[in-house]
């Protein structure tokens, strides 16, 4: 019997070449498909909610696939987690209606970007934060976050190589919070994201936090629709896909 499954996946992306399957490269999609194909004894091809770049992590990546099987989802989840040799874990496996698609059924996605904001770097968990030794102005960064809320053209924050038809996206939530005296987290939720958009926004927000640019200049960068106006791309290691939202 053909069944459609939805997977929620947590992974450490440090040593992977991103989510998407690539010949000769270790990817999250590739590793999961190998294990699923072995368990279900048939070729499995996953549809992911979206790509994450090399080095980016996830707590709530979502993928879907169809398979001819009567295996209960809890048994499939346990089998994948027991056979997986890499830092990839299924946190949920459920059956869903046949018209569910991990990418096309999604209505929004939420990312977190973590910054270690102190003079000394860290020895533990250094693969999960961007170290900024200069004190950042949280108020200025949040003034800039207010400017990107709503629907805008984000060409200034898109790296080259994207095949998107439109650069217009709707930001539902954007803010920078202080987790503790040394750590900041940039939280953003949107209808969708362009290539490297969160990392480019983060790099530009850090420029604002360093007082290199003002919120007024940030607004001009957004309106300018020119990638050369914005800041550098933040490192992949601080970025986590937190959750994908569905109706």
Looking up residue 45, the CATH number of its domain turns out to be 3.30.70.580
pLDDT of residue 164: 72
**Average pLDDT estimate for 180-184:** 96
Confidence of residue 119 (pLDDT cuts 50, 70, 90): very high
**Quick one: tokens of 180?**
């503790």
pLDDT of residue 134: 97
Q: How many distinct structural domains can be found in the chain?
A: 2
pLDDT of residue 160: 75
Active site residue 182: no
SS3 annotation, 141-166: HHHHHHHHCEEEECHHHCCCCCCCCC
Contact 35, 83 (CB under 8 A): yes
pLDDT of residue 165: 81
Within-domain flag for 102: no
pLDDT in tens, 30-59: 999 999 999 999 999 999 999 999 999 999
Domain match, 133 and 24 both: no
Within-domain flag for 101: no
Domain match, 118 and 58 both: no
Which region among 16-25, 106-115, 162-171, 177-186 has the lowest average model confidence (pLDDT)?
A: 162-171
Domain match, 86 and 172 both: no
Within-domain flag for 178: yes
Domain with 64 in it: 2-96
pLDDT in tens, 69-118: 999 999 999 999 999 999 999 999 999 999 999 999 999 999 999 999 99
pLDDT in tens, 196-241: 999 999 999 999 999 999 999 999 999 999 999 999 999 999 999 9
**Spatial CA neighbour of 244 closest among 47, 55, 54, 4:** 47
Q: What percent of the chain is helix, strand and coil (3-state, nearest 5)?
A: 30, 30, 40
Domain match, 114 and 219 both: yes
Angle, CA of 192, 193 and 194, to the nearest 5°:
135
Q: Give me the count of residues in the chain.
A: 247
Domain match, 170 and 112 both: yes
State the CATH number of the domain containing residue 149. 3.30.70.660
Q: Where is 39: in which H helix or E strand?
A: helix 28-40
**Quick one: tokens of 228?**
């050369």
| Count of C-beta atoms within a 10 Å radius of residue 28 | 28
Rg of the chain on CA atoms, in Å: 19
Catalytic residue among 53, 177, 180, 226: 53
Domain match, 43 and 113 both: no
Considering the entire predicted model, what is its pTM? 0.95
Domain match, 91 and 112 both: no
């Amino acid at each position: 019997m053909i069944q459609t499954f939805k997977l929620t996946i947590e992974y450490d992306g440090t040593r992977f070449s991103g989510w998407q399957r690539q010949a000769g490269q270790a990817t999250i999609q590739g590793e999961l498909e190998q294990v699923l194909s072995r368990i279900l004894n048939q070729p499995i091809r996953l549809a992911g909610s979206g790509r994450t770049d090399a080095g980016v992590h996830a707590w709530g990546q979502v993928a879907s696939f169809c398979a001819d099987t009567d295996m209960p989802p809890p048994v499939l989840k346990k089998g994948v987690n027991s056979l997986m040799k890499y830092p990839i874990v299924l946190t949920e496996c459920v059956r869903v209606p046949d018209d569910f698609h991990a990418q096309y059924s999604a209505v929004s996605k939420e990312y977190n970007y973590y910054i270690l904001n102190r003079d000394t770097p860290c020895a533990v968990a250094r693969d999960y934060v961007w170290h900024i030794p200069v004190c950042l102005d949280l108020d200025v960064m949040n003034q800039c976050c207010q400017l990107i809320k709503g629907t805008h053209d984000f060409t200034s924050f898109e790296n080259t190589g994207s095949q998107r038809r439109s650069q217009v996206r709707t930001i539902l939530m954007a803010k920078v919070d202080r987790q503790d005296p040394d750590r900041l987290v940039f939280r953003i939720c949107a209808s969708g994201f362009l290539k490297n958009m969160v990392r480019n926004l983060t790099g530009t927000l850090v420029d604002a936090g360093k007082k290199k640019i003002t919120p007024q200049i940030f607004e001009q960068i957004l309106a300018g629709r020119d990638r050369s106006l914005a800041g550098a791309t933040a490192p992949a290691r601080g970025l986590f896909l937190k959750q994908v939202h569905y109706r």
